[in-house]
Structure 1
Amino acid sequence: KGSHLILRSTASTSGSVLASLDPGTSVTVLSTSGEWSKVQVGSKTGYVHTEYLTSTKPSSTSNSSSSTTKTTTKYVNVDKGSHLILRSTASTSGSVLASLDPGTSVTVLSTSGEWSKVQVGNKTGYVHTEYLTSTKPSTSDDQSGNSDSEQTVTKYTTADLNLRKSNSTSSSVITVIPKGTAVTVYSETNGWARVTVNGNTGYVSTKYLTGGATLNGKVTTVEQDYDISLSQLTNIEMKASPQTDTNNRYVRSDAVKKTSSTTGTLDGSWNVRDGAGTNYDVAETLPSGTSVTILDTVAGTDGHTWYKISYNKTWKNATANEVEYYLNPKNFINDPVSSLQFLKLSTTANIDVNEVNQKILAGKGTLAGKAQSFITAAKTYGVNELYLISHALLETGNGTSQLAKGYPYTYKGKTYTVYNMYGIGAYDGNAVEDGAAYAYSQGWFSPEAAIIGGARFIANGYISAGQDTLYAMRWNPSGAATYGYATHQYATDIGWAYKQVNEIYNLYNLLDSYSITLEVPNYK
């Protein structure tokens, strides 16, 4: 009471203010995307924060969830030597505003799901709620939390394994992870690993994790020759400003003027390298006064002590060494999971309908029982069935999104139920309505039509152009060999193709009957 909700012209705090809404104001919600809702109030249409809307009208004396919510003070609770990332949005893709030390005091403005909006000094941003505590932790304690700035590794389950909410056998089970599933491991402490798998984050016993994986189905490998050497391709890619989100960045210890045991500023302009020693490539040169976080202290190859550091950049310029590593197929082809970046997406997986419906699509909302539609889509447009299924599960939240369940779209006064299984045309800011409009234009009035019709759009972009592996989508070696420069590439992240394969592997791993064709580059 006494505060107001801002109606903005765009789904951003930088959008112009259209109105200031009193508590209890009735609004018509047109669509919701992320933390923003598109609403109509009288003759005005704009955007408001979804967390400040409620289905029941609050009384004028109620303690509503609007911006009048009382703030609380909490403290960063992560391992000594780790840091909690303050981000611009409630997402791990949000830009990094600051790196918070253990025990840092923050003012919690609001909490929604797994994220808290906090203020630290003059900065306001978002952090993972689970790494906040009401009591200030001792910086010498072995805290149980871990920040999202830590490096991750991929491991595989050796048995059907419970994913739990906390590191205890008495903690509730989030889901059961099938044997052989690839999981992203953030940390391992006292017999427990904090992992992410299929969009869920929790804890599993480390005794049931291994570094090795296998594929059950038939795997055929073919080579694709390119009239270009690996070093030539690396030089071409370096001119396209490739990016990396790695924290493998090092600077000599005498470059840093420490402000605490884990923070400091650069004392002068210094080269930052991809390894500890002057024989490693220079990633970039940072100016004097740049704030850095010290992640580790290592002995350099040149006899000096070096610091492994992070700084105020989520994305950094990749070095030639790093680019060549991800370009070189020999670094990935012998691993059953990472080799899937060479999966030829224009070839059929020869899946069994009943097996896919039972083992992959069961319980997946509108997608349940739709294996035959994916097979038809694959054969019609030449796109691998498992790739389509992986794409659809991701975009629809396992078949439960508004567009997956059927969205009422009104055109010229008549309402149609439309479906969109791959998020095609669903642009940020007005995703549901835009995705529905695209589905209407394509005649996707059933789940089957959306699955089959959407496959044509996916095929036309890269696969039909001959870039029919994740590796080729990212690097397009054929284009580089033909034109002498980088062209028609899906991403600037050098690890993009490598990062996509866990979910595809996990789908294949659930099945006994399938075939895989790998198309592996061969450079001169």
Structure 2
Amino acid sequence: MRRRGNRRSERKIPFVILALSTILASTGVPFGAATAYGAEGKQVNTVQQGVINDIVNLRQGPGTTFSILTTLPPGTVVELLQKNQDNWWQVRVNGQTGWVFGEYVVPKTPADQTVLRIEQHPKDPNFYEVKDGKLYHVLGTPEKRSASFLVGTAPSFLRTGAVYVRDANYQFYRRDPDGDKKVGTHVPAYVTLDLRYQAPISAADIDRFISSSRPNSPLVGKGQIFLNAQKQYGVNALYLASHAIHESDFGLSQIARDKNNLFGYMAYDSDPYGSSAYFKTMEDSILYEAYFVATQYLSPSGKWYQKASTLDGMNVYYATDPYWAEKIAGIMERIRPYNAKDYANSRPLPIVAAKPAGPVQEPIDTTLAQAFPAGTFAVTSEEVNFRALPSTSAQKYGMLPGGQKVTVLGKSKKNWYQVKVNDQIGWVFGDYITGIAVANPVQDPSGVLGSRSGLPGSSNVITVWLDGELLSFDQPPIKTNDRVLVPLRVIFEKLGSKVEWEGSTQTVTAVKGKTIVTLQVGSKVAKKDGKSIPLDVEPITLNDRTLVPVRFVSEALGAKVEWDGAANRVNIFTK
């Protein structure tokens, strides 16, 4: 997603390899063997120096229940003081004493001065691995993975079964217990390809990949538009299609469906949906993005040009995600594996067409996609604008306070509710409406949902409270087989975890600290930190939202859950 409101700048700093003795001398840690004693007075044979081999918390005491003093990055040199019987090391670093779990410390002797831990790029826990000759970038650690994506064909010096890290200059190191060993330099070909070169690809190639990956994608049949954009504005069609696929989830994201915006154009981090631009058609979005990228990012005279007309150059200002360039390169590789012959003797394509139609004022559609029976009520989850029409540009009647009871008349296709307050009819955005209660239940005509409750049309409305705060969902919680399911993103993010959605496998991964939770739509087996856990009810998809069991998710992330049957209420406690 393009995030112009939060640009970042990166300097590429060469990594200089130093012997461990040199590092120790610069940090003031004494170098030499020593004898330490355990917590019970037992002598522990050890050495004075150690190197942290992964990102780890320095704690006040020997256990995860003790408070965190700071976080130590890989490569940190520490002084080893003592080791207890539970494999916790007491260490001193920069004048601060604390405890680190033994798996994250590599003790060294003066005879071995070669332990090196590079400054990884990006700095978050990540590594690379090889499978079937392809290079994959994995987020997390080998023990606790959160997501992975294809980068491209692996170079010959990277082998299956090993763990690799790299620095900012794409110098790869094999991560061994006794240090990071440099194995070679490899920049993924598509990351540094000049995006002004013509792609040797047909419209049928693009359509075939999209239809095989996501048959219901609205991008199926639009391959020729990407070719037209390449011809008119000199932007590689393979890149442009891959960019659209990445940003819009094959055209199925809410921004793409509601606003024909395939590239997250003008979508700021603070409010991606509300700030994103509206295009009359997806074709307009493709052509305008091609022109915008060609003139502002790929042209040396462009405002956001950064050293080269490549994905790597674009990543400096286009996206805050440090993995953005590699993710798009991976999609390009999936559509057409890189072959140097494809671009031999290529020259930048010229811009031959005038500036295309850009974003326009979003039309206000007051058509109700869903009408509610008389006597339907809800409450506002927090203070919200009460508007004359379903648009952030519409006249504002005033502000409704959190907890305001409203009469619900209907819901638009774009998640706006038409409500009545004190005889005044207006609109409130759906993210701020919760606790919908229907006085006269209606039937589910599809029969798909069976006896599930909590849906619009059910009198058994379910509310979810987190530490006393009423949570708001655009898809109400439901109850099935005596288990409550809620939209995944709201509950995961409210519980302080980062969420990754893999559309091709319908898998969601949540990461909170060192805890990784994975669920898959339709599967009654979840995973927590790699261990399989059976579920009473599987995650489902409903109204374009993925719902997950709230008790399992909450407890897996360290919260407590109570069910108040009389009030049809889920109480979650994190404090």
State TM-score, norm by structure 2: 0.32
Higher relative contact order (CA 8 A, sep 6+): 1
Q: Which has the larger radius of gyration?
A: 2
State TM-score, norm by structure 1: 0.35
- Point out the structure with the larger helix share: 1
